[in-house]
Structure 1
Amino acid sequence: MAPRPIALLLSVALPLTACNAGPDYRPRTAAELGVPSGYSVPADQAGAEDLTHWWSNFDDPMLVQLVEQGRTANLDVAQAVTRLRQARESLVQARSTLLPTVGASAGASRNQQVSGPGGSGNSFSIGGDASYQVDLFGGNRRGVEAAGAAYQASGFDYAAVLISVQAEIARNYVLARLAQTQLAYARASLAIQDDNLQIAEWRVQAGLVSSIDAEQARAARAQTVASIPSIEANYNGFVSRLGVLTGQAPGALKAAMEAPRPIPVGPAKVAVGIPAETLRQRPDVRSAERNLAAATARIGVAQSQLYPQLSIGGSLGSGGGAIGALFDTISGRLFANIAQTIFDGGRTRSQVRANEAAAEGAFLSYKQTVLTGLEDVENAIVALAAAQERARQFAIAWDAANNSAILARMQYRSGLTDFTTLNQAESSLLSARNGQAQAQADQATALIALYLALGGGWDSNTTPEATNGN
């Protein structure tokens, strides 16, 4: 094709590159997503707190150390980083479609005459070529838009994995400390029951009471002893889980966790802000929004296949019988090609409809993620308030049970009450102790769940990106 027809073709086609096929992405409003102006449960809707490092609020250095270690060493987080890197490379590949493809070649050969007239000779050649697909209707640009949104979604997916791992580490740490507390209570009760059994046996030998007292004392002691292996197994499970969550072998933290520490206690309340602020903080919601943007852009990618495709290119080449004469003669070629699908059995239009359905599904998934996020926050708020109330009531129950057990112990030793009364008082004390410890742990785990529901544990002012060091 001569240069003049090519120039005429480009003068008509290139202005069309300002057009993008498919719909432009439109952010959805709070009303479209069903976001209310406030929560349906009592909540502190003052300005939301900075929850980037919420685990520091528990004032437990060991907890802080484990969470920080999990941020860098956890294998689920590492896998999320690799997926983020893959998404970045997909974006690089999509951007490459906006640029021309350039190639070069060189060759050398020798022709050796075996028989007959003629002679031998050498041949050398060098050449280059370039081709470019003109993005007439914005299909490639929509592809870059989709890849960019998918890359951002992968960044938010990484953040979602990160905050989930941090919360899981904190929860298992709290449960490990709860198991240590329960073990301490069981062993303290066992020591008291050993003393009670000895007193009961003395009183039986003295003929002051029947052997029923001694048998009841033995039964109570055996029940306490039987509970210890179960608590120890639970403790081992929590510590093993902490090891794996921090990228280590299951037993790696047993020595570090061996020294008992109290159950962590966090702040009494958390300012959660309004629902819209919570949704901006949650990475899963932001990932769902980016997935919707990517799905919308893919409609344009499919629609662009309905329109003509224009390719232009050219090549330069030279050759000669000697290297010194390689550039004596240079030839070039310029070409342009425009193609339009006439009939494909409805395949391309079906692809457009499929991408439109995918975008609709992405919107529904986005809305579902929003509503589930609000549900998580409200449930965590209620669970925290309930755990705090249980902790207050169990504190009262523990104080009353402790006074009752002290009094019953004194009266039994003095012969003023029977062993059944003492046994009931001791059982009530152990139950109240364990109930108070469980309520404290429930309060801590509910607070952790609230921090997770609020999307705490990452910098929500940035979009996570892959780096060359990842």
Structure 2
Amino acid sequence: MNLDKIVYRYTAILAAIVILAGCATVGPDYVAPEIKAPSQWNASAPGSTFGPDRSVDSLATWWTSLDDPALISLIELALKNNIDVKKAESRIREARAQRGVTEAGLFPSADGSGSYMLSRTENHSEVGTTRELFAAGLDAAWEIDLFGGVRRSVEASQASYEASREDYRMVYVSLAAEVALNYVDVRTLQERLAIVEENMKLQAETYELANHRFKAGLVTQLDVDRAKTNLDETRASIPSLTTRLAAAKNRLSVLMGEHPGYVDSRLAAAKPLPVTPLSIALGVPAETLRRRPDVRTAERELAAQTARVGVATAELYPKLSLAGSIGIDASTFGGLFSGNNRAAAIGPRVGWNIFNAGAVRSNIEIQNARQEQALLQYENTILLALEEAENAITAYANEQARAQSLEDAMKSSADSLQLVLTQYKSGLIDFQDVLDVQRTFLSVKDNLAVSKGTVVSNLVRLYKALGGGWTPDVPL
């Protein structure tokens, strides 16, 4: 029987196998679990609005709502150059390539070969003979995916690839928030240093006043020493604040993908904190959960693990493969092109792991347990996301109230400071009263600066908790 007849005979068989291969896929089909979330947030913040968000990208670039060009520039630069972003991009490429490797299992594979051999036979009584052998061949094989094991592997690879894309988005969300938080730290520390400098000037004037009154015989040396101590204590706070400021700037530089010191010139001049918007669209919990990349990642990992159950289940069933080869042997190179030297073989092969001491079924149990764990992880991720969002809303609202109280306290403290200085000059009160009021004024003013920075930081954390910081248009 010639090669053409062999190929013709198996064409019908091959077509039937291909049709059969698409009919059976063992293992559970994945159905995305329903997101169970409350209809409204428990907490609320001043100026916040609820209800479904009309704009898909309303949170994508939340930092623009803070109206701070320096912050906007730093975040955009970090999203472009940050090392973690580049690593996440690399992981996406890896997952995409792994999907390609898995998909290749759906198709036949072929190997070509060629060889040349020169042999010589020596004989004591006769002249030796030399022979040449030229050979070429093509081997092909195809494992028919009868029960969907390979297709389930492709499903798992696809879901893992999609999970890596969500991880990339999570890097975006976290990076934008971290840049903003460190930027707020820089501006807050600059403000606190300015407050210290301002108070040192005030305390230096008080020290000079006490000195003059001492020289005039109106007060004792104790007043002078107390004033000097107060001034030195305030000055002693500068190094620690400066150290923290340098650390925040260095952290920003590294987030930019640059060496420490990169942002120093950009942030050398002290500027006010970013302005928080008058209103914030909180949306509804379910919308936030659908947007958060960590929730989306957990859902994709659950899908991947569900597919792996099918991969393990397919090992219970027989495996069918087709193998074929074409070979040519010739004593001359020209003979490789002669049909008379051609040989071919083709045929099916069935393999079935009949006995393995329960290893296959145990592996199915392992994959089912991992699927259960993935589902629990998904549910836990939802709970943690809701917790983070509720805490962020509460913290933002309460810190705003605290900042307002400190604002009122500072006004009262400033009035008290002017009053005690006037009374001390008139000799109506003791110098200890002046020191107490000055310390209170410095403490309240510093706490107010910290609180204002915390308000902005809590807003940043709220945007992060709501899943802001990425857009579907980002190329992946």
Fold agreement, TM-score > 0.5: yes
SS of equivalent residue, structure 2 residue 115: strand
Deviates more, 1:450-459 or 1:67-76: 67-76
Q: 1:56 to 1:129 in 2, by over 3 A?
A: same
Q: 1:397 to 1:54 in 2, by over 3 A?
A: same
SS of equivalent residue, structure 1 residue 336: strand
Q: Pick from 23, 37, 50: which aligns with 1:35? A: 37
Q: Is the 8 A contact 1:6 1:336 kept in 2?
A: no
Q: How does 1:321-470 map onto structure 2 within 5 Å?
A: 321-328=331-338, 329-459=341-471, 461=472, 465=476
The C-alpha deviation readout for 1:261-309, integer Å capped at 9, x for no partner, is 1122221331111111101110000000000000000000000010000
2:83 aligned with 1:99: no
Q: Which amino acid aligns with 1:150?
A: S
Q: 1:192 to 1:77 in 2, by over 3 A?
A: same
SS of equivalent residue, structure 2 residue 41: coil
Q: 1:99 to 1:9 in 2, by over 3 A?
A: closer
2:222 aligned with 1:212: yes
Q: 1:224 to 1:403 in 2, by over 3 A?
A: same
Q: Is the 8 A contact 1:155 1:464 kept in 2?
A: no
Distance 1:373 1:426 in 2: 44
Distance 2:159 2:18 in 1: 28
1:63 aligned partner: 71
Distance 1:288 1:86 in 2: 19
Q: Is the 8 A contact 2:141 2:321 kept in 1?
A: yes
Number of residue-to-residue matches in the alignment: 461
Deviates more, 1:324-333 or 1:448-457: 324-333
SS of equivalent residue, structure 1 residue 183: helix
Deviates more, 1:212-221 or 1:147-156: 212-221
Distance 1:117 1:20 in 2: 66
Q: Is the 8 A contact 1:6 1:335 kept in 2?
A: no
Q: CA deviation at 1:138?
A: 0.3
The C-alpha deviation readout for 1:324-347, integer Å capped at 9, x for no partner, is 221222221102100111110100
The C-alpha deviation readout for 1:46-105, integer Å capped at 9, x for no partner, is 333601111111111111111111112211222222222211111011101001101111
Q: How does 1:152-301 map onto structure 2 within 5 Å?
A: 152-301=162-311
Q: Which amino acid aligns with 1:425?
A: V
SS of equivalent residue, structure 2 residue 281: coil
Q: CA deviation at 1:252?
A: 2.0
Q: 1:59 to 1:12 in 2, by over 3 A?
A: closer
Distance 2:348 2:11 in 1: 7
Q: CA deviation at 1:393?
A: 1.1
Unaligned runs of 5+ in 2: none
2:325 aligned partner: 315
Distance 1:273 1:178 in 2: 30
Distance 2:90 2:345 in 1: 44
Deviates more, 1:9-18 or 1:231-240: 9-18
SS of equivalent residue, structure 1 residue 131: strand
Q: Which amino acid aligns with 2:291?
A: Q
Q: Is the 8 A contact 1:265 1:440 kept in 2?
A: no
Deviates more, 1:419-428 or 1:439-448: 419-428
Distance 1:13 1:230 in 2: 73
Distance 1:261 1:180 in 2: 8
Q: Is the 8 A contact 2:21 2:144 kept in 1?
A: no
Distance 2:474 2:207 in 1: 65
Distance 2:13 2:327 in 1: 26
Q: 1:6 to 1:352 in 2, by over 3 A?
A: farther
> What TM-score results when the alignment is normalised by the length of structure 1?
0.94
Q: CA deviation at 1:13?
A: 7.7
Identity %: 37
> What TM-score results when the alignment is normalised by the length of structure 2?
0.93
SS of equivalent residue, structure 2 residue 40: coil
The C-alpha deviation readout for 1:108-133, integer Å capped at 9, x for no partner, is 12222333466323221211121100
* Two-structure CA RMSD over aligned residues (Å): 1.9
Q: Is the 8 A contact 2:120 2:128 kept in 1?
A: no
Distance 1:155 1:119 in 2: 66
SS of equivalent residue, structure 1 residue 256: coil
Q: CA deviation at 1:432?
A: 1.7
Deviates more, 1:415-424 or 1:241-250: 415-424
Q: Is the 8 A contact 2:179 2:255 kept in 1?
A: yes
